[in-house]
């Protein structure tokens, strides 16, 4: 079992206090957005044996097991994070596996540098993800029913929104959502900025259900993503609740601290709330234009005490153990690779002691018992 030393990414939207408070450190005053745990080459975890990606590359079957290596290739197929949002993240979607392979191959053929700011596909993998709240957590997930969005927009009494309201009420669901999102993202920037300014003033005046969008506009004044965000369900998670985000589902995280796990990919198509590149035609090809229930997940308890967040994909499986005082050790030895993350209390994992924010990599078959008093998340795969 390897203790992990992990990189904290200082993205501008990160909280300046949440990760520091979790790990018991003094805030640096700078944003701390994500702590990465895994073997992603962009910021691999470090062990006493070397960087985790290099450890796995040297002996993938020994570290991952024959079944996982055969199914997912010679790499750890997931990336685990602690995510701390102090401001809204970009409104975004992720491609499915076929779309990712096609998009990556196309950009490779056209010679688009992988680090080019206008490149959409950094790799050929999909990026389903799961976010589990550690604190109250606000986000946007999936399209709201068009009729409900029409009512929300109409109550703002902003004249330039009337064409969107009419489309949402007159067209079938898929056509209505597609046409409105297309119109918002393709509008004249100056006219859209004026519309967003009027929407922001109205949202602040009305409050209530409009408060999240007034908050978004505070961080991204004039951004068309403010209007696009109003097409989506606003979701408030309580600690322990989670959201699964599949391919083509537009989403954004607004505020809060959580444990996030995803397939090991960096493919993002942005809709707004960002200074980064927005490829509208490619985005519209990827988005699933259907109203959806966000589907808040609560863990399903097992007789062993493991609480599992069920998802429809195999690249990752997230669960947690809430360990009461003096509980018997839990044997987590398994035929798949694991990362263990402590988020509360003090947990003993094998020979290691983990406190909040500390984590360990468990190679396949390695003896893994956890005990203590606290909460430990377990990330593994379905092989």
DSSP states of 24-71: T----SS-B-EEEES--TTS--EETTEEHHHHHHH-HHHHH-HHHHHH
CA–CA dist 5, 8 (Å, integer): 10
CA distance between the termini of the chain: 20
Question: How is residue 64 written in tokens?
Answer: 């991952």
Count Cβ atoms below 10 Å from residue 122 Cβ, excluding itself: 17
User: 382 Cβ partners below 8 Å, 6+ apart?
Assistant: 314, 317, 336
CA–CA dist 192, 202 (Å, integer): 15
Phi, psi of 235, deg, nearest 5: -125, 135
Question: How is residue 193 written in tokens?
Answer: 């900025």
Q: Which residue has the tokens 């997230």?
A: 318
* CA distances in angstroms from 332 to 47, 87, 363, 378, listed in the order given: 20, 36, 12, 9
Cβ atoms 213, 229 nearer than 8 A: yes
The separation between CA 197 and the C-alpha centre of its own chain, rounded to angstroms, equals 28
Given the residues 46, 75, 144, 270, the one annotated as active site = 270
DSSP states of 295-358: --B-PEE-TTS-EEE--S-SS-EEEEEEEPTTPPPEE---SS-EEEEEEEEEEEETTEEE-TT-
- 270 is known as an active-site residue: yes
Question: How is residue 58 written in tokens?
Answer: 């040297």
CA–CA dist 216, 33 (Å, integer): 17
CA–CA dist 254, 300 (Å, integer): 26
The separation between CA 47 and the C-alpha centre of its own chain, rounded to angstroms, equals 25
Phi, psi of 208, deg, nearest 5: 55, -125
Task: Give catalytic residues, as residue numbers.
Answer: 270
């Amino acid at each position: 079992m390897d203790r992990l030393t992990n990189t904290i990414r200082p993205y501008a939207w990160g909280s300046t206090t949440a990760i520091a408070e979790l790990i018991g450190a003094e805030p640096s005053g700078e944003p701390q957005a994500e702590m990465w745990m895994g073997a992603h080459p962009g910021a691999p975890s470090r062990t006493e044996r070397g960087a985790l990606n290099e450890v796995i590359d040297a002996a993938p079957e020994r570290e991952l097991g024959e079944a996982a290596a055969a199914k997912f290739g010679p790499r750890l197929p997931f990336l685990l994070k602690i995510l701390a949002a102090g401001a809204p993240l970009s409104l975004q979607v992720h491609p499915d596996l076929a779309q990712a392979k096609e998009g990556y191959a196309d950009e490779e053929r056209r010679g688009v540098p992988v680090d080019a700011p206008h490149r959409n596909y950094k790799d050929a993998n999909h990026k389903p993800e799961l976010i589990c709240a550690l604190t109250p957590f606000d986000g946007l997930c999936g399209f709201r029913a068009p009729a409900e969005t029409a009512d929300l927009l109409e109550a703002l009494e902003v004249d330039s929104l009337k064409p969107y309201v009419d489309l949402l009420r007159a067209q079938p669901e898929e056509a209505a959502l597609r046409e409105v999102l297309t119109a918002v993202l393709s509008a004249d920037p100056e006219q859209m900025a004026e519309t967003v300014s009027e929407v922001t003033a109205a949202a602040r005046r009305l409050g209530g259900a409009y408060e999240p969008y007034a908050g978004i506009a505070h961080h991204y004044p004039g951004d068309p993503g403010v209007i696009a965000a109003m097409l989506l369900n606003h979701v408030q998670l309580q600690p322990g609740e989670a959201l699964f985000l599949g391919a083509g589902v537009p989403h954004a995280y607004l505020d809060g601290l959580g444990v996030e796990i995803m397939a090991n990919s960096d493919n993002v198509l942005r809709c707004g709330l960002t200074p980064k590149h927005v490829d509208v035609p490619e985005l519209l090809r990827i988005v699933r234009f259907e109203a959806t229930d966000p589907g808040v997940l609560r863990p399903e308890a097992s007789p062993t005490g493991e609480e599992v967040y069920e998802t429809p994909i195999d690249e990752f499986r997230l669960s947690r153990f809430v360990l009461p005082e003096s509980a018997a050790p839990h044997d987590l030895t398994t035929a798949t690779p694991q990362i263990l993350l402590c988020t509360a209390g003090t947990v003993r994992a094998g020979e290691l002691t983990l406190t909040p924010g500390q984590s360990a990599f468990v190679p396949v078959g390695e003896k893994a018992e956890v005990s203590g008093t606290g909460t430990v998340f377990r990330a593994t795969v379905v092989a």
